[in-house]
A and B are shown apart, each in its own frame.
Chain A
Amino acid sequence: MPIVGALVQVDPLANQEVQINLSMLPDVTVHAFDMPGKIAMIVERETLNQIHGLLKDTVYDVDGVLAIYPVYTYLGDDLDRVEEIDIDAEIAATVSNIIENSV
């Protein structure tokens, strides 16, 4: 399944409200930054079409969203294989921390 990482530019005054609204969307992980006006979201769906549809039709219509930039795209289908990768302890902890602490 493809994975897309997108930067969402939002009205700084609506930052928290947008975060909450985006975090309620299925297949979406939202990560808030310290700086208001910018939110990271990761979308994972069956097809790029579905991801694009979500970004265009749903996310863009959320009040306070000004623009969306999909800055990272992974298209490979190898993720459907359950594969473990070797990784050092610090990175493993980092990744777990990110996944668990997303909004």
Chain B
Amino acid sequence: MYTMNRRDFIKATALASVAAVAAVGVDPTLARVVQAAGSRAEGGVDEWVKSVCRFCGTGCGVELGITGGKLVALRGDQQHPTTKGLVCAKALFLPKIVYSKDRLTTPQIRNADGVLEDATWDEAMTLVADKFAEAIEEYGPNSVAYYGSGQAFSEESYYANRLFKGGIGTNNVDGNPRLCMASAVGGYVTTYGKDEPMGSYDDIDHAQTFFLVGSNTTECHPVLFNRILERYQTGDRVRIILLDPRKNPIRKIASVHLDPIPGYDLPIFHAMAYVIIDEGLYDPDFVDQHTVFKKVVKKDDGSTEVVDVDFEGYKEFLEEFTPAKAAEISGVPAAKIKQAAKIFAKGPTTSFWTMGLNQRTAGVWANNLVHNLHLLTGNIGKPGATPFSLTGQPNACGGVRDTGSLAHLLPYGRVVAKEAHRQQMEAIWGAEPGRIQPKPGLHTINMFRGLAAGDVKAMLVLCTNPGQSLPNVTPYREAMKSEDSFMVVLDAYPTRTTELADVVLPAAMWSEKEGVYGMSERRYQLLPKLLTPPGEARPDLEILMDFAARLEERGVVPAGYIADKFETPADVWEEMMLASKDTAYDFTGITRDRLREERGIRWPAPNEDHPGTARRYVKGEDPLLDEGPYADDSLAEGDTKFYARPDGRAVIWLRPMKGPAEPTDDEYPYVLSTGRVLEHWHTGTMTMKAPELLRAQPAAFIEINPKDAKELGLRTGDMVRITSRRGEAVIKARVIDTPRKGMVFVPWHWPDMPSLINRVTIDAFDPGSKQPEFKVCAVQLAKV
């Protein structure tokens, strides 16, 4: 044996790790170091355990280095099938974030003087249960509400949904995915019949064209961007179309950049379709065999109905959206639109989009129009060809969308409005027949409006921060703070919402509890419990179980309905698998044991031998076309069938032009759009606990185009007052040509009141998805 300096050894190990992640054919010398990586000699780490990153919906596999029960190191999991060892800068700081000094460790109750003071768990939970029971008994079940999160574990969301809808008997169950991806859900459901992407990250490796819409993938999903970059670097004439009013970093490698006036991009999609048809670039066979055309018409009595249209009718409709006409509305030159259409049609094309498309009052329609392009060109169901909505939270898909934890949904593609679906879930849950209400509950904005109006008396908020994240947040903050409402908040940190709560319950954090995350490509992954929560903090599921038991004791939830049925997250998972059986989500083969062993499995996976599904709706790849209610033996290998719709065909929608809810005018002449930066995530409750990340991006900023700055007499560093019809913020200027003229951009992470930009944003929402229009509102700017 030799001895050597540990520092040098760790440096070499780090190099070896990078080499392995880079997949550059690790040479024998580096391979020896990689081989040694599991040994005790690796820098004092006792054990490496696989897990998943806490942040966005990419679902990066990580390995956590544990020594003496403490998290001391983190590295990308090279065995992870999709992220292959890559992580972004945020993950680097996860160990620090977990051990933040301001973790909540004791339950707190607000006293008569309005001050939160420490309490025992029993005192806090007794008060919470009493308040909810009083509200339900006096005002009925719809006087209470649950507001959840795309960051909660699937078992937590499922359990809360089960408790409120089947136990209490209210559909007032919603969550923050309503703010970020409800329009994507609406797009998938109205086009294909069921939610969730049909493709997977595998498609990146086969695409010739990437259509990136309203997505700053470089900063918001950097590991996925790397995979796109890898594909781009193959030199195989891979093209990128960027559609974004900001010049985000993707522009460096984009073949064409379409930068519409914010809120006026719908004509661009139609114009691309126009060019694709006009130049004979569409796929007539695919259109004929797999699609129908539909539009919504108004009847004389003011009601609406959906009517069928034929291909000629669609062509006629598109005459209103020639590239020249689209250019007039959108501000994007017709030549660029034509160029984008031709590149798109060549394919195989993978589209990725995020909030730029979803956070709009025309969000569902915008989603439909991206799907239209894929359907017209047959760019779907083939390697490299897929329309893919990326998610910003780690478990918005698996935890909230799939478990049906929104006001109109039930688990695994069911909806409250359908009697058969209610009956199925009542049977699975053991709920009284008729306990699940047929009418959707309050969606997010209406839930908080209900709180303000006094209709919602008690609300439970879990793992999210609406006191900062809601649009037009001021009136909702007042409602949360009001003595007329009772609000209990479960969180790991003090936030802009805990400061308004009547009871604050300290929750366990990532790696301090076990649960499943389901990320954007339908992959369910288990995160193990490795650490002990600080102080008296408890896992959210444990708190919900305590809450449920107390509600049963008080008689507002039927005795025996839920409290005694589950003891662990694994128990809940068993019922979830059962609830998915014979649905389009079937994951009865994704057992807890498999999750512990494997690095996630993509549903559908209807039996334990099934490896998971990379591509849905394709015979030979999607197991549901072989067996079960969607099986179709008439199909040949490789055939596509959109089985979630009754006729098996996807819908190409004729959607009219619709602009933003609040266009600019002489009084409010600038468009405000909000977004993110690499270093921070959502309301900053986690990333701002890492001093390094906070120092890197210490304060909010407003990006202003140099032409606008000149007119306003603004320079970088000046303080700017941003005023809308709802409120104002004061933020430091960054003069830069990233936003187009007339548009300003503010990242929304910072919680300090002067720069809390959601005091300015608008709470108008899409009539279909109920998702608010964070991306467009009209503002004034003035130097302070």
Q: Is the C-beta of A25 less than 8 angstroms from some C-beta in chain B?
A: no
- Residue pair B222, A70 in contact (C-beta under 8 Å): no
Chain B residues with CB under 8 A of A56: 89, 678-679, 696
Main secondary structure of the interface of B (DSSP, over half): helix
* A55 to B679 Cα, complex, angstroms: 12
- Contact A69:B222 (CB < 8 A) given known A38-B22, A47-B692: yes
* A78 to B3 Cα, complex, angstroms: 17
Q: Which of A73, A87, A102 is in CB contact (< 8 Å) with B2?
A: A87
- Sampled A-B contacts (5; CB under 8 Å): A69-B86, A71-B17, A73-B95, A89-B2, A99-B12
Hey, what's the 0/1 contact readout for A1-12 against B, CB within 8 Å counting as 1? 001111101001
Nearest neighbor of B71 in chain A, beta-carbon distance = A75
Q: Which of B218, B693, B695 is in CB contact (< 8 Å) with A67?
A: B218
Q: Which of B24, B88, B95, B692 is in CB contact (< 8 Å) with A69?
A: B88
Chain A residues with CB under 8 A of B252: 66
Chain B residues with CB under 8 A of A33: 19, 22, 24
Q: Is the C-beta of B72 less than 8 angstroms from some C-beta in chain A?
A: yes
Chain B residues with CB under 8 A of A82: 5
- Residue pair B12, A76 in contact (C-beta under 8 Å): no
* A12 to B32 Cα, complex, angstroms: 28
- Residue pair B692, A72 in contact (C-beta under 8 Å): no
Chain A interface (Cβ < 8 Å from any Cβ of B):
3-7, 9, 12, 29, 31, 33-35, 37-38, 40-42, 44, 47-49, 52-53, 55-56, 66-76, 78-79, 82-99, 102
- Residue pair A72, B18 in contact (C-beta under 8 Å): yes
- Residue pair A90, B32 in contact (C-beta under 8 Å): yes
Q: Is the C-beta of B30 less than 8 angstroms from some C-beta in chain A?
A: yes
* A94 to B10 Cα, complex, angstroms: 13
Nearest neighbor of A73 in chain B, beta-carbon distance = B92
Nearest neighbor of B695 in chain A, beta-carbon distance = A49
Nearest neighbor of B41 in chain A, beta-carbon distance = A85
- Contact A95:B86 (CB < 8 A) given known A31-B15, A67-B218, A75-B95: no
B1-41 interface (Cβ within 8 A of A): 1-19, 21-22, 24-25, 29-30, 32-33, 36, 41
B68-120 interface (Cβ within 8 A of A): 72-76, 85-89, 92-93, 95-96
- Residue pair A98, B73 in contact (C-beta under 8 Å): no
Chain B residues with CB under 8 A of A76: 43-44, 67, 72-73
- Nearest Cβ in chain A — how far from B217, in angstroms? 10
* A36 to B413 Cα, complex, angstroms: 46
* A34 to B88 Cα, complex, angstroms: 24
Nearest neighbor of A79 in chain B, beta-carbon distance = B7
- Residue pair B32, A79 in contact (C-beta under 8 Å): no
Interface residue count on the B side (C-beta < 8 Å): 65
Chain B residues with CB under 8 A of A53: 692, 695-696
Main secondary structure of the interface of A (DSSP, over half): mixed
Nearest neighbor of B63 in chain A, beta-carbon distance = A72
Chain B residues with CB under 8 A of A87: 1-4, 9, 36, 41
* A72 to B15 Cα, complex, angstroms: 9
- Residue pair B44, A40 in contact (C-beta under 8 Å): no
Chain B residues with CB under 8 A of A73: 73-75, 92, 95
Q: Is the C-beta of B223 less than 8 angstroms from some C-beta in chain A?
A: yes
* A38 to B85 Cα, complex, angstroms: 14
Q: Which of B16, B226, B692 is in CB contact (< 8 Å) with A48?
A: B692
Centre residue among B15, B43, B93 by max chain A CB count within 10 A: B15
Query: Beyond the given A7-B18, A72-B14, could you list 20 further A-B residue pairs with CB under 8 A, ordered by the A residue number?
Result: A4-B14, A5-B14, A33-B22, A40-B18, A44-B7, A48-B93, A52-B89, A52-B693, A69-B76, A69-B86, A70-B87, A74-B72, A74-B73, A75-B95, A78-B6, A78-B44, A94-B30, A95-B8, A95-B33, A98-B12
Chain A residues with CB under 8 A of B74: 73
Hey, what's the 0/1 contact readout for B219-246 against A, CB within 8 Å counting as 1? 0001101100110010000000000000
Q: Is the C-beta of B691 less than 8 angstroms from some C-beta in chain A?
A: yes
Chain B residues with CB under 8 A of A3: 7, 10-11, 14
Q: Is the C-beta of B420 less than 8 angstroms from some C-beta in chain A?
A: no
- Residue pair A71, B76 in contact (C-beta under 8 Å): yes
- Nearest Cβ in chain B — how far from A68, in angstroms? 8
- Nearest Cβ in chain A — how far from B375, in angstroms? 32
- Residue pair A5, B92 in contact (C-beta under 8 Å): no
State the 6 A-B residue pairs at the shortest beta-carbon distance, nearest first. Answer: A5-B14, A40-B18, A49-B692, A84-B3, A92-B2, A33-B24
